[in-house]
Each structure stands twice: as C-alpha cells, then as structure tokens.
Structure 1
C-alpha cells in the first residue's frame, strides 16, 4: 500500500522562475494571475513536511519512475509512432487492394483510441488503480497484436491493431506523465521529456527491426516477437511504478467546468489541431520516398531518422521549457513544423537538390520539432491546472478532445492525395503535395491558437512575465 503523502492537489509552490507566466493559474477571484501559493488549497502542508515526506526532483525513487515511464511511453505512444512501417508494408504487400488513405485509418484509429484512453486512464489513476491499468493495458496490447499477426484482411487489421491495440495503449499512455509530475517540480518538464524519449526510441527501433523481420521470418512472427518484447519490458513498471498517494475516496468526476478556464480551453483546441497534423509525415514519409524512386530500405530508414531526431526533440527543448515556459518553447517549434511541411514538396521538386539528402534533412528538422509538439502539451496542461483540480480528469479531458484530431488528421491528409501520377520526382510531388500542405494548414492553425493561449496566459503578446 502506498504511503499517505501529499497528492498532486496539495503540492505547494516552492520556487519561482521566469516561466511563472505559464505556471500561475488564471482561475482567481479577481481575474488576475496570482502565484499558486495564494490559491485556495486543501490541507496544504508546510514546506518542511513536504520535503520530509517524499523526495522532489531527485533521488532513486523519483528517477525509477522516469525509467518506468520511459518503458510505458515506448510501448504506448511508440506504437502509433511506428505505424509508418506497417502502413508501407500493408499497402505494398499484405493488402495492396486498399488505398493508402484506407490503410491510414488503421493507424488513425489506433492513435485516436490511444489518446481517448487517456481519459479513462486518468479517472482510474485518480482512484489509485495504477497496477490494474498497467495489467489491463498490456493485456489488450498483447491480444491485439497476436490477433494482428493472424490477420490477412483489412477489417481484421482494423479491429485488431486499430481498436484492440489502441485501447490498450490508451490505458498506458497518460498516467506516466501524471505519476512523474508527482515526483518532480522544478525539473518536471525535463523528467517528462526524458521519459517520453521512449516513444522515439521505439520509433527508431521498430521500423528497422520490423523491416528486417518481415523479410526474414515473415509478418506473423515479426509481430509475435513484438508481443514478447512488450510483455518483458512492461513487467518492470508493473513491479516498480508507484503513486505518491492512495487514490481519492469516490474517485474523480467528469465535469465540463474545467472549460470555463479560457486558457485551458484554447490550449485544448491547440492540442487537438497539433495532434491532427503532427504524425502525418510519420505515416506517409516512407511511401513518399518510394514514389520518389528511393529504394525500399532507405525509405524505411527515413522513418528511423525522423524518430531519432524526435528523441532529441523531446529531450532538449524540455530543458528550455523549464526555464522559459512550455508555451514559449512550443510556439517556435510549431512554426518549424509548419514551414517544413510547406516546403517539402517544393524542395523535392527542385532538380538541383539530391533527393536522399533532402529527405534526410527534412526528417531531421521535422522530427526534432515534432518531438516537442508531441510531448510538451501534457506538462503544459499540468502547469495550467490549479491546485484544486483533479489532475487526471483535466488531463484526460484534454486528451479526449485531442483524440478526435488524431482520428481524422491522417485520413483527411491522405484523402487529398492525388492518385495516378506514377513514380518519379514529378509524379510523387504532384500526388503528395496537397497531403503535405493540408497537414501544414492544420498545424499552422494550431500554432495561431497556441499564440492566443500564450497571450491569455501572459497578459500580453510579448509574453512579459506577470506576478
């Protein structure tokens, strides 16, 4: 049984930095941002008790939770991150009668349910069911992937990989952030950023390993090896991951009153648009490379390159975000993603630029920026949440909205892709350009809303800190 220690709703504010403009809640009686320490809290304990009861920002127990979170990120968000390897194999080998847009629905439903499951994961986490979430989530992933290994039809893959694996991943996807946030305060963004690199590590590993296994042992056994890997690694957080406190009696309750906070509401809309667009290159870059005439191994390796850059994009900006604030860090990185998507068809259509180095550079730039777009929204929501909030539910509601972005984003982009232009530079660019520009439009809209959320948070477009 976990020790009786302060909950996320009882954390006192013990530090102040230049990033406080994004940490001070707006829900104050005089409508002016005030320090967290001035907000009404429930049973707030003294700083001495806070430090004596549990370790914040350092210590073996805290960093063990980061390791457990890294594994769970690897086996939850890492699966939709790696879907590009499955997408290309399905279109070329397993179900070639299906269009790329149709196959993308498998990955999009998986991403949708992974994001949607965060709501239920947050509710049950607030009730203290941590180990149960790990067990049930892992079980659903295992059953879904085993069913995928026996699938030969589109509808079978949709149900097994899209629905069952997505539901399992969703139960595992959110609570690592919440648990880690209980152990870290000043280093929260960094700790979450380190844990989130597990998803990028999977994105590097799976495309290379799966491509090798598809050719050596066949699709069914390649997926079954993946099942064994997930079972072995998820045993570690099952044993070692712990909450800082027991679940609250009666649990958390769903309520729409959280959306009365304008900053939270605008940022949730931002999160939804970013989720709808950020994974589009991860789904389609291997297929685009093949259409450009790049050989198959290199086309798959581009996804690994993008995920390698994504790993550093999750980690490095997290240090900046702890100093200057999450939204201030995220804004220029969404701009980089938007511009990268706009220029991709233009630079690949230029005969003066060699195709492979051009795509590698794009994968590096986009992968790095996308890492922050994927990971920073969750800790930003933590920082936007007043102490009196049920953190799991507030996080879950945001992910519920973002889930619909993940559901429709890739199919919408895939639907505007023009078929029938053939292979080669000109044909590939004509076929894919509207796919990239649609994703850029959605990403750019999210960037504008992010600027508005930051304006609401800081009180000025220049982002001056407010006390």
Structure 2
C-alpha cells in the first residue's frame, strides 16, 4: 500500500508495506533495530576500511621480504589498489544496493574478502599480490562497505553524523587491531599464517554483519539510467564536496603508508616505529565519533572544515619541519601520529554524512555514494604512488612527499569552505 513520505527524512522516501508515515518517523533515529544496524555496519568497516587502514605495515614488510627487489613506488601500487577498488566498485555496487538491497552484496563480499586474504597468504610473486591483495580482497570489502553506509543512512536523520561516526570508528579500531596483531604474528608464525588468522577474524565479524545489517527502506528497482550517474555533477554542492574529498584522500593515505618507513630510516627504534600506524589509527577513533556528534549540533560542514584545517596544520607545521629539524626524534613521530590520526579521522565518517545532507532522496543513496567514492578512488589510487615517485626523485628525502600531502589537504579545506558558502551564503554563524 502506498503511503506518504516520511517528513523526518526531508526527502522522497516512501514508507513501505503497511508502515505508516508516523511509524517510519518513529523508527528514524531511535530503537534497538536502528542501533543493531549500526553495530553490524561497524563490523563491516572494521573488516573493510579497517583492513585498508592497516596496509602501511605491508609497505615496510614487502620492501624487506617478498618484494625486496621492487621499488617503494611499485610496492605502493599494490597497497593503493586496495582503497581504489574499495571505493571505485561503488559505481556498480551502489546501484545494485538501491535495486536489490544489502543481502546478496554482504554474502558475496564476505566470500571475496576472506578468499582474497587466504590467497594473499600463499602469494610469492608481484602479480599474485596484485590479484589477491590488490583486487580480490578489497573488492569483497567494497561489497560490504557500501551496504553498511547506505543502510545506516536509512535509519537516521538528526543523528545521522553521529551514527556514521560510530560506524566509521570500526575502521579506526580495525586499523589498530590488524597492524598490532600482524606486527606480533609476522616474526613469530610467518606471513602465511598471519594472513590466514586475519582472514578468519574477518570471517567471524562479517557473519555478524550478515545477520544484522538491514535497510529500513525497501529496495526500489529502477532501470539503469545515465542520468543517475551524471546528474549529481549538475549540482554545485556535490561537485565541491567531490573536489574537497578527492583532495583530502590524495593526502590521507600518504602518512599511513610512509610514516613507518620514514621513522625507521631516520633511526627510530624499529619496534616503536612499527606501532606508529597503530597509534595513528587509535587516535582516529575519537576523530571519527566526536566530529559526528559535534556535526549534528553545530553543522556538519562547519565541523568538517575545522577538522580538515587541523589536518593541514599537522602535516605542514608538525610533520614537515619536525622531521627535518629533529630527524630520528621518536617524540615527533608519536605526536604527529596522534594529532594526524585524530584530525584525519573525520573524513571516513563525515563525508557520507555530508553527502546525505545534500541528497534529498534516500532511495538513491547507494548510487550517489558510488559516484562520489568512485571519484575519490582515483585520488586513493594515485596519491601514494605519486608520493613514492616524489620520494624516489628526491633520493629518499621525505620533505617533497610531505609538502604534497599538505598542499592537497589545504586544497580540501578550500573546497569545503566553497561548498559551505554555496549552501549558506556569507552567514558565518549558520549551522550548515
């Protein structure tokens, strides 16, 4: 039976089945079922984006072991493929979600992610790592990443940024658990079983996700139309959000992939350097949740601009001069990892919330997220290899790589500010 749209969502989402508009409104932002979906989505990001946040440990390991004959830039292509595939597959997955819902996407994603990790555990050649770790595993992660975000969006409105912040904190904790676990397991039981244990952990978490992640909105099958993919580019706020996000993700993975290697080359204790990525990801945990909470209170674009500006300051005022003036200082690396982890943590949780804010029709959430994150995937793919090429050109000195990351983050601030101006005009105090 057709019903009225849910006013709480400010969009065109119709309550489905026998659910009245009052029932739909009552379910938004409240109830055990909504928060159960958040818990399942948290598991998805723990296994998906959390694994991607841990890839920095492999840059150092591969340079010293299986792929020691390859350059840092060549190895970084394997690792850059992970966020690229994770994001780029959304162009298709988003449409499938809108048409058919999350069930089969979650099942297929669970298989592919675990299978990719198991195949990585028996890989020896460069092309094998490309296929298993660079393509298969992140493709599976993408199949669970997008349903997690899209389902969460259907259950929340006024608390949407907080919900996304909690969900994205799973990626932070995954980025703490996986590198810490691998740092201890790799020297003790070897590469193969370290990856297999990781695969079994991913499997357990994704079983929980398969049982709990559901959309509040029934899927609305639609024919594939080009306008669904190009339509968002006619919206100025979407274009500016896309440019801001791309600049931010150009910079985001550079420290994640290179801070361990740089610290070790600067003479920082090897064991301590190995935990820098864990420190960074641990600091990003409050950086995921707190901006979401504040964003719902003060304005999501307002908070995102502040967090992005802090990231730029940390990159250009702490990381760049700190490592130039005090090479080998463990304190510099620890403080940088803490501050950058906190500041950059907002990107994963806030960008989907910002997109939902400028998207009136929740039934098209999947395809719009897919379009946005496909654009972001290009930045994620090329950011670290560009940084690696700069590093090679400068004969192993890191200041050029640091300037590149900082400049991209400054660009991100500019475009977020521009988006806010378009949405709010010149009103500085307005909640946007």
What TM-score do you get using the length of structure 1 for normalisation?
A: 0.86
Deviation of residue 51 (structure 1)?
A: 3.7
**Unmatched 5+ residue regions in structure 2?**
none
Matching residue of 1:233: 205
286, 304, 312: which one pairs with 1:338? 312
Matches within 5 A, 1:18-417: 36=10, 41=12, 49-53=20-24, 55-250=27-222, 253-255=225-227, 256-343=230-317, 344-351=319-326, 355-387=329-361, 390-417=364-391
- The structure richer in helix per residue is 2
Deviations 1:253-292 (A, max 9, x none): 4421221111111111111111121111111111011011
Higher gyration radius (CA): 1
Matched, 1:431 2:402: no
Deviation of residue 389 (structure 1)?
A: 6.5
Q: SS in structure 2 opposite 1:247?
A: coil
8, 11, 27: which one pairs with 1:13? 8
1:42, 1:209 → 2: CA distance? 43
Contact 1:177 1:379 in 2 (8 A): no
Deviation of residue 461 (structure 1)?
A: 6.2
Deviation of residue 42 (structure 1)?
A: 6.7
Contact 2:120 2:128 in 1 (8 A): yes
**Unmatched 5+ residue regions in structure 1?**
15-35, 422-429
1:388, 1:198 → 2: CA distance? 23
Q: What do you get for the CA RMSD once the two structures are aligned?
A: 2.3
The verdict on how the C-alpha distance between 1:158 and 1:44 changes in structure 2, with shifts beyond 3 A counting, is closer
Contact 2:3 2:20 in 1 (8 A): no
The verdict on how the C-alpha distance between 1:61 and 1:97 changes in structure 2, with shifts beyond 3 A counting, is same
Contact 2:101 2:215 in 1 (8 A): no
Contact 2:314 2:336 in 1 (8 A): yes
Q: Which moved more, 1:285-294 or 1:341-350?
A: 341-350
What TM-score do you get using the length of structure 2 for normalisation?
A: 0.93
2:272, 2:121 → 1: CA distance? 25
Contact 2:153 2:362 in 1 (8 A): no
Deviation of residue 245 (structure 1)?
A: 2.8
Alignment size in residue pairs:
426
Contact 1:272 1:401 in 2 (8 A): yes
Deviation of residue 386 (structure 1)?
A: 1.9
Matching residue of 2:409: 443
